[in-house]
């Protein structure tokens, strides 16, 4: 199946990319096709609230780099979203990216996503331990996407400040998630 990963950090060698890439290693070893978008290197406009998607029951009409993403998402079996924590929230570009999924809901509130998409979140932060304010926002973020008929499979919180053994356990878990998608 097709697995899409969206790397949300501008630091493509950062911790969220490292953990996400480990999920992708597992997915490749399980025989899946992997497609990676780096949010900082593609053009993603904000939702302009034009209502075209609701009037036409259509994917978003904005002509930017998400055009190809919608096509791929309709054929995908899994979506991995990763993002660094900025001020206890998912970073701005990944919020903009998530907002655009509004187009996947029809006028009658049904989702236009016909395929089952498994959803995994990878969130990185400076704080070495998960903390509630941020965890709440990570959950909210995944729930907004899962409202489009995506099924939340797992969510990983990582930090460069984690003790090495905890980081290794997280990377091992990430690989297993990918392998079992």
Ligand X SMILES: Cc1cc2nc3c(=O)[nH]c(=O)nc-3n(C[C@H](O)[C@H](O)[C@H](O)COP(=O)(O)O)c2cc1C
What residues line the site for ligand X (CB under 6 A)?
Answer: 9, 11, 14-17, 84-88, 124-127
Q: Which residue is nearest to ligand X (CB)?
A: 14
Between residues 9 and 105, which has the closer beta carbon with respect to ligand X? 9
The residues with which 150 forms a beta bridge, in sequence order, are: 117
CB-based contacts of 27: which residues, under 8 Å, 6+ apart? 3, 34, 78, 178, 179, 181
Between residues 124 and 148, which has the closer beta carbon with respect to ligand X? 124
CB of 18 to ligand X, least distance (A): 8
Q: Which run of H or E residues covers position 16?
A: helix 15-29
Between residues 62 and 120, which has the closer beta carbon with respect to ligand X? 120
Residue 180, CA distances (Å) to 16, 29, 38, 92, 130 in order:
20, 10, 23, 30, 25
CB of 37 to ligand X, least distance (A): 15
Between residues 14 and 178, which has the closer beta carbon with respect to ligand X? 14
CB of 35 to ligand X, least distance (A): 20
Return d(Cα 6, Cα 97) in angstroms, integer: 10
Rg (CA), the chain: 16
CB of 149 to ligand X, least distance (A): 28
């Amino acid at each position: 199946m097709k697995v899409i990963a969206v790397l949300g950090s501008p630091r493509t060698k950062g911790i969220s990319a490292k953990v996400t890439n480990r999920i992708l290693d597992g997915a490749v070893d399980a025989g899946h096709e992997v497609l990676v978008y780096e949010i900082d290197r593609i053009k993603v406009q904000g939702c302009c609230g034009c209502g075209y998607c609701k009037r036409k029951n259509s994917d978003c009409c904005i002509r930017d780099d998400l055009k190809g993403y919608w096509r791929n998402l309709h054929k995908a079996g899994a979506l991995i979203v990763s993002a660094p924590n900025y001020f206890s929230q998912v970073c701005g570009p990944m919020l903009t990216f998530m907002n655009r999924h509004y187009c996947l809901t029809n006028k009658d509130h049904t989702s236009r996503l016909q395929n089952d998409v498994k959803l995994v979140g990878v969130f990185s932060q400076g704080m070495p331990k998960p903390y509630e304010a941020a965890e709440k926002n990570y959950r909210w973020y995944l729930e907004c996407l899962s409202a489009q008929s995506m099924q939340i499979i797992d969510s990983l919180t990582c930090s460069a400040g984690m003790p090495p053994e905890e980081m290794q356990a997280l990377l091992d878990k990430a690989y297993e998630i990918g392998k079992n998608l």
